[in-house]
Amino acid sequence: MLSFRWNRVTGAGKLWLRIRRNWQLYVLLALPLLWLVVFRYAPMYGAQIAFRQYSPAFGIEGSPWVGLANFERFFNSPKFEPVIVNTLVLSFYSLIAGFPIPIILALSLNQVKARMFRSSVQMITYAPHFISTVVIVGMLFQFLHPRVGFTASLAQLLEQSPPNWMGDPGAFRHIFVWSGIWQEMGFSAIIYLAVLSTVDPALHEAAVVDGANRLQRIRYIDIPGLMPTAMVLLVLSTGRVLEVAFEKVYLMQSPLNLGVAEVINTYVYKVGLLSPILDFSYSTAIGLLKGIVGLLLLIAVNNAARRLTDNSVW
């Protein structure tokens, strides 16, 4: 009955009928859409206070326009350069050091045939992913504590003076990046392991017949098989270089390391919600700038990836 009517109608009528036919699906979607508008798109509308001098008395639409004044203030601020530099250094250091390690781990795990060994290694390397950021940073403080930490005990055993890495601004970036790798390398390897399991076994069999050893098979079969996924993930993380693992940076900050540990997101938070004079407009302007540059960056790296390798996110 329905399908009979379906065939007869055309054009706009057909479209309307298709919408009406699925009205219950739109009812299902209503609540999620309402949520999306309120909690995700209303803030985008509110971001216009970046161009105003927001005061609670006047509200979002009532506050006076100030053009780009808030942005100019950030560009001229002495904080501008260090905050941008810290963000980029921390991001690219994480990216460059953290990108190849899960791939190597996956390639290596993929070679293991002993199931017990393989699943134990997987289980153990995934585990730190499930530890919360607060606990990870707490562990860092304890592990590297100059008096009660593991490094202190070790130094004592070796009759050396214990290092105080957590208090050393020069060590901040290394600790941040390598503890991140420690925490995530196992879990990040999952995707690569999944891709490796889809590599056609016939390729490996043919390579074995041709006399290729394991290293050569990794080099000529496994790695090319991983490339598309690796490219997509690289694009995604390059597009997010302005974000950094902000929650962790904030926890690791101390008055000593602030010179290298203040990043865009922590600065936005402090200006907006922590400083004695809360400056919503200024904070929003910095955040908006970061958001727009980040979006442009994501589009740019994606286009570059598409042109260079035929792999892209969209």
Partner 1 sequence: MASMTSYESNINKVNESAVDRIFMMGNTAFLSIITIIILLPLIFIVAASFSSAEAVIAGRVTLWPVDFSLLGYETIFEHKKVWNGFANSLFYTFFGTIFNVFMTIIAAYPLSRQDLIGRRFITFAFIFTMMFSGGLIPTYMVVRDLGLLNTRWAMILPTGIGPFNLLITITFFRSTIPPELIEAARIDGASDFRTFRSVILPLARPIIAVLTLFYAVNTHWNTYFQALIYLKDQELFPLQIVLREILIQNSIDASMLIDIEDLVAREGLRELLKYSLIVVASVPVMIIYPFVQRHFVKGMMIGSVK
Residue 169 contacts residue 259 (beta carbons within 8 Å): yes
With the CA atoms of 156, 159, 164 and 165 taken in that order, what torsion angle do they form, in degrees rounded to the nearest 10? -100
Is position 230 an interface residue for partner 1 (rule: CB under 8 A)? no
Among 89, 97, 251, 256, binds partner 1 (CB under 8 A): 251
Instruction: Give the amino acid at 66.
Output: V
Instruction: Give the amino acid at 239.
Output: G
φ and ψ at residue 65, rounded to 5 degrees: -70, 140
Is position 257 an interface residue for partner 1 (rule: CB under 8 A)? no
Which positions ≥6 away from 6 have C-beta within 8 Å? 14, 17
Is position 6 an interface residue for partner 1 (rule: CB under 8 A)? no
Is position 11 an interface residue for partner 1 (rule: CB under 8 A)? no
Instruction: Give the amino acid at 119.
Output: S
At what angle are helices 100-111 and 169-196 packed, to 10 degrees? 40
Among 13, 43, 224, 259, binds partner 1 (CB under 8 A): 43
Among 55, 58, 72, 111, binds partner 1 (CB under 8 A): 111
Q: How far is the CB of 24 from partner 1 (least distance, A)?
A: 4
- Report which of 139, 101, 105, 136 is spatially closest to residue 122, judged by C-alpha positions: 105
Residues 143-162 within binding reach of partner 1 (CB under 8 A): 143, 145, 147-150, 152-154, 156-157, 162
- Report which of 253, 35, 303, 265 is spatially closest to residue 141, judged by C-alpha positions: 253
Is position 304 an interface residue for partner 1 (rule: CB under 8 A)? no
Is position 38 an interface residue for partner 1 (rule: CB under 8 A)? yes
Residues 61-100 within binding reach of partner 1 (CB under 8 A): none
Among 9, 13, 41, 58, binds partner 1 (CB under 8 A): 41
Taking the C-alpha atoms of residue 94 and residue 295, their distance in angstroms, rounded to an integer, is: 20
Is position 9 an interface residue for partner 1 (rule: CB under 8 A)? no
Among 5, 9, 13, 18, binds partner 1 (CB under 8 A): 18
Is position 142 an interface residue for partner 1 (rule: CB under 8 A)? yes
